[in-house]
Amino acid sequence: MGTSKIEWTEATWNPVTGCTPISEGCEHCYAKRMATRLRGRCGYPAGAPFLVKVRPDRYNEPFGWRKSKKIFVCSMGDLFHEYVPFPWINEVFSVIQRCAHHRFMVLTKRPERMRNYISKVLQVRGWPESDIPFPNVWMGITAETQRRADERIPVLLEIPAARRFVSVEPMLGPVDLSQWLGRSGGLDWVICGGETGPGARPVHPDWVRSLRDQCQIAGVPFFFKSWGEWREANMDLPVRGTKFGCFMGDTFVPDYGNIFPQRYPEHINMARIGKSNAGRILDGRTWDEEPEDVNVSKEVR
């Protein structure tokens, strides 16, 4: 575990690595790309670097920090993958319970299995379904499209958690979350971001603005991670070597080559300039909002 470059967390802990594709957002998976680069090293098998694997060697890592940290659990996999046995998930949550001074953020594309696990925990403890068994854990799901939001968010909202959040990353289309925002038992936090890496798909600026506006109207914190590889084109961009394309409505039309963005003045012109150049400014500012912590002490007692 180490300091993370992921904008919405401070550290990562990977007691499970590896995954298998389950939806559209998996097509250019950054974790698979990183595991492939590390194949044969750091515990990633040379023959199958993204094989789902439990990592007992990383079990004790969260005990290394005395001061509280925001920790993203399984940035290199999915803790609730069907190949991860419940006894190992028990071990992971045992560490989480003993590190009550940290906030752990668990993000999954498999909320049904997350719900089943938490239900079993409550059943074993003899607690009612409304109890929160892990007060220092934020439970989240990825919803890269409206379809995935409609499938996964209702399941997430059935899971008792200190906070529930959704990561709309990579954002691959317009997403309306308004029915789950600003109400008791709804979403507490929304993260949004574009896609990075080879083959990255652009995010329409109006999709991001709409999601931001939904959160503002509902009073729900909004975190904009980055534009990804693409940004809306303007006259200041270099033409030579830059790839351009445009959104015609919600459909992206690539125009590979040195095509000046004014070719489609009636549409939203986009340029692939890399994540660092595209940045994370939305309408003149960064958006780093997040909910307050609950029941998390600041230091080991």
Please write the tens of the pLDDT for every residue from 248-272: 999 998 875 555 555 666 789 899 9
Q: pLDDT tens digits, residue range 87-113?
A: 999 999 999 999 999 999 999 999 999
Buried residues in 101-117 as b, exposed as e (16+ CB within 10 A): bbbbbbbbbbbebbbeb
Q: Which pTM value belongs to this model?
A: 0.93
- Check residue 299 and report its DSSP letter: B
Kindly state the average pLDDT of the residues 146-168.
98
Helices 111-125 + 86-98 axis angle, to 10? 70
Kindly state the average pLDDT of the residues 236-251.
79
Computed over every residue of the chain, the mean pLDDT equals 92
Distance CA 285, CA 32 (A): 32
- Higher pLDDT: 234 or 270? It is 270
Q: What residue ranges define each of the domains in the chain, with the CATH number in brackets?
A: 2-228 (3.20.20), 229-282 (no CATH)
Q: 254 preceded by cis ω (within 30°)?
A: no
